[in-house]
C-alpha cells in the first residue's frame, strides 16, 4: 500500500501513523515529494483494513499495490483451479455448457428439456426452483417440488444439477440435492449467505452483481473461500448501464481480466445479460472467443408460455444449432467439451 499524506501534515501526526503501521508488522519507505509526503507500506498488508487508513484525516490518498483478495488471487496460486463435478471438469481447458429452463414448471417439462440438451451436448442441467423475482406478484418458483423434478431429470439423463439457493436456510435444507449451488447476482453481496455456502461441500456458481466491479466479485468469492470452500465458478451475466435495448451490458472483457487476476474458472450467461433470445447465440460465441470456461443458456420447450423469462429462452432445436456452432469455436480455442 502507498499512503499519500496531505500537504502540511504535522510531523508528529505522521510519526503516530508510522508507529501504528509498524505495530501491524509492515516495513515503511518514506518519500518526500515537492508537495506531499508519501509512505510505502511493504510486506504483508493483507490484514490492514484500508478504511482504517483512509479515515485518517491527514491521508490524501491510499493506493493499493496488491489486490485485497488472497485465496482468489492468481498471484498466490498461479495454476488454474479445476473443479470436478461427478467426473465433469470445469476450468483449465475444459468447456462446459449448462442448459435448462429459467424455472422448473413441471416434471415433464424439465425431464424433456434435460434429455434434449443432453443430446445436443450440454454437460449440466440448470433449472430454478427458488426464483428471485423483481415483483412479489410474479411466479416465485416451485420450491422443493422443483428440486424433486430436477433430481428426476438428473436420474434420467445423468446431467448434474445447477440451481439457485437464496437464503442460509435453503442452503442448509437443500444444498445436498444440488450439484452446483448458484448464488444469484442480487445476492452476490448477501454476506450471510456467502458465509454459509463457504462451509458446505458443494461447488458454488457465483454470479456477478449488476453493479459489481471485478474486485467486488473476487471479494465475494474470497468470502466463500475464506470459510473453506475453494470450488467457485464465477459467472459474468451483464452489468447495469444507460443502454436501453438490452437488459444489461455483457462485459466480456471481464473474462480475460478475471483470468489474469484469479485462478478461478469463469463462465458467461448470455441469456440474462441480454434478456433477448436472439442475442444468445452471438453472445455465446463471443464468450468462447473471449476465453470463457463455459456458458449457461436458458432453454425452454415453449418460450411463449414459459412462466419466467421466456423472452430470453431459446428452443431445444435452436440450442442444438448453437451447440454445433459453439463446437467449432471450442475447437479453435483448443478447449475440450466437458
CB-wise, 189 or 321, nearer to a second copy?
A: 189
Instruction: Name, in order, each residue with C-beta under 8 angstroms of 252's C-beta and a sequence gap of 6 or more.
Output: 236, 268, 286, 287, 290
What is the Cα–Cα distance from 20 to 97, expressed in whole angstroms? Answer: 51
- Binding residues for a second copy restricted to 15-44, rule: CB under 8 A: 29, 31-36, 38, 40, 42-44
Minimal distance in Å, beta carbon 18 to a second copy?
A: 14
Choose between 94 and 223: whose C-beta lies nearer to a second copy. 223
Are the beta carbons of 97 and 326 closer than 8 angstroms? yes
Tell which one of 106, 169, 317, 324 touches a second copy (CB under 8 A).
169
Nearest to residue 37, comparing CAs of 58, 7, 66? 7
Cβ 111 to a second copy shortest distance, Å? 21
What per-residue string of b and e applies to 136-148 under the rule 16 or more CB within 10 Å gives b? eeeeebbeeebbe
Q: Does 143 bind a second copy (CB under 8 A)?
A: no
Binding mask 258-297 for a second copy (x = CB under 8 A): --x------------xx---xx--xx-xxxxxxx------
Rg of the chain over CA atoms, in angstroms?
23
The three-state DSSP-derived secondary structure of 121-152 is CCCEEECECCCCCCCCCCCCCCCHHHHHHHHH
Rounded to a whole number of angstroms, the minimum distance from the CB of residue 143 to a second copy is: 12
Residue 304 touches a second copy, criterion: CB under 8 A: yes
How far apart are alpha carbons 330 and 266 in whole angstroms?
A: 15
| Least spacing, CB of residue 222 vs a second copy, in Å | 6
CB neighbours (10 Å) of residue 110? 28
Q: Which is nearer to a second copy, 129 or 252 (CB)?
A: 252
- Residue 118: partners with Cβ closer than 8 Å, 6 or more residues away: 125, 157, 158, 159
Nearer to a second copy, 75 or 336 (CB): 75
Q: Which stretch binds a second copy (CB under 8 A): 104-112, 113-121, 154-162, 307-315?
A: 307-315
Site for a second copy in 195-254 (CB under 8 A): 195, 209-211, 213-216, 219, 222-223, 226-227, 239-246, 249-254
Binding to a second copy, residues 48-107 (CB under 8 A): 49, 51-52, 54-57, 60-61, 63, 65-66, 68-69, 75
Nearer to a second copy, 159 or 232 (CB): 232
CA distances from 196 to 55, 130, 199, 229 (A): 31, 17, 5, 10
Residue 262 cell numbers, joined? 484469479
Q: CB 81 → a second copy: shortest distance, Å?
A: 18
Site residue total, a second copy (CB under 8 A)? 109
Return the number of the residue (2 or 151) whose C-beta is nearest a second copy: 2
User: How many other CB atoms are there within 10 angstroms of residue 58's CB atom?
Assistant: 16
* Number of DSSP helices (H) and strands (E) in the chain, helices first: 11, 15
The binder of a second copy chosen from 116, 120, 187, 271 (CB under 8 A): 187
- Spell out the alpha helix ranges (H) of 250-315: 254-261, 270-274, 280-289
Q: Closer to a second copy at the Cβ: 83 or 221?
A: 221
- CB of residue 332 vs a second copy: minimum separation in angstroms? 5
Minimal distance in Å, beta carbon 120 to a second copy? 18
Which span sits near a second copy by CB under 8 A: 107-115, 117-125, 146-154, 310-318?
310-318
When asked if residue 12 is in the footprint of a second copy (CB under 8 A), the reply is no
Amino acid at each position: 500500500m502507498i499512503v499519500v499524506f496531505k500537504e502540511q501534515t504535522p510531523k508528529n501526526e505522521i510519526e503516530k501513523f508510522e508507529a501504528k503501521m509498524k505495530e501491524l508488522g509492515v516495513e515503511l519507505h518514506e518519500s518526500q515529494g515537492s508537495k506531499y509526503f508519501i509512505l510505502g507500506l511493504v510486506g504483508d498488508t493483507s490484514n490492514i483494513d484500508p478504511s482504517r487508513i483512509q479515515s485518517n484525516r491527514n491521508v490524501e490518498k491510499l493506493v493499493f499495490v496488491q489486490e485485497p483478495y488472497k485465496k482468489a488471487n492468481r498471484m498466490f496460486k498461479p495454476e488454474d483451479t479445476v473443479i470436478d463435478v461427478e467426473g465433469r471438469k470445469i476450468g483449465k481447458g475444459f468447456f462446459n455448457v449448462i442448459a435448462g429452463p429459467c424455472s422448473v414448471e413441471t416434471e415433464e417439462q424439465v425431464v424433456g428439456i434435460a434429455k434434449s440438451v443432453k443430446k445436443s451436448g450440454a454437460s449440466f442441467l440448470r433449472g430454478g426452483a427458488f426464483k428471485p423475482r423483481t415483483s412479489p406478484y410474479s411466479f416465485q418458483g416451485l420450491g422443493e417440488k422443483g428440486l424433486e423434478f430436477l433430481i428426476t431429470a438428473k436420474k434420467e439423463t445423468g446431467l448434474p444439477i445447477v440451481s439457485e439457493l437464496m437464503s442460509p436456510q435453503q442452503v442448509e435444507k437443500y444444498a445436498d440435492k444440488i450439484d452446483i449451488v448458484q448464488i444469484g447476482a442480487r445476492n452476490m453481496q448477501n454476506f450471510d449467505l456467502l458465509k454459509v455456502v463457504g462451509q458446505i461441500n458443494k461447488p458454488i456458481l457465483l454470479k456477478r452483481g449488476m453493479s459489481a466491479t471485478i474486485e467486488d466479485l473476487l471479494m465475494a468469492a474470497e468470502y466463500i473461500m475464506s470459510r473453506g470452500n475453494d470450488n467457485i465458478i464465477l459467472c459474468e451475466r451483464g452489468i447495469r448501464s444507460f443502454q436501453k435495448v438490452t437488459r444489461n451490458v455483457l462485459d466480456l472483457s471481464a473474462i480475460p481480466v478475471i483470468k489474469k487476476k484469479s485462478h478461478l474458472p469463469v463462465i458467461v450467461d448470455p441469456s440474462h445479460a441480454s434478456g433477448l433470445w436472439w442475442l444468445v447465440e452471438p453472445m455465446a460465441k463471443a464468450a468462447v472467443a473471449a476465453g470463457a470456461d463455459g456458458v449457461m443458456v436458458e432453454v425452454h420447450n415453449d418460450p411463449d408460455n414459459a412462466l419466467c423469462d421466456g423472452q430470453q429462452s431459446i428452443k431445444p432445436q435452436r440450442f442444438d444449432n448453437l451447440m454445433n456452432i459453439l463446437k467449432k469455436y471450442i475447437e479453435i480455442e483448443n478447449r475440450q467439451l466437458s
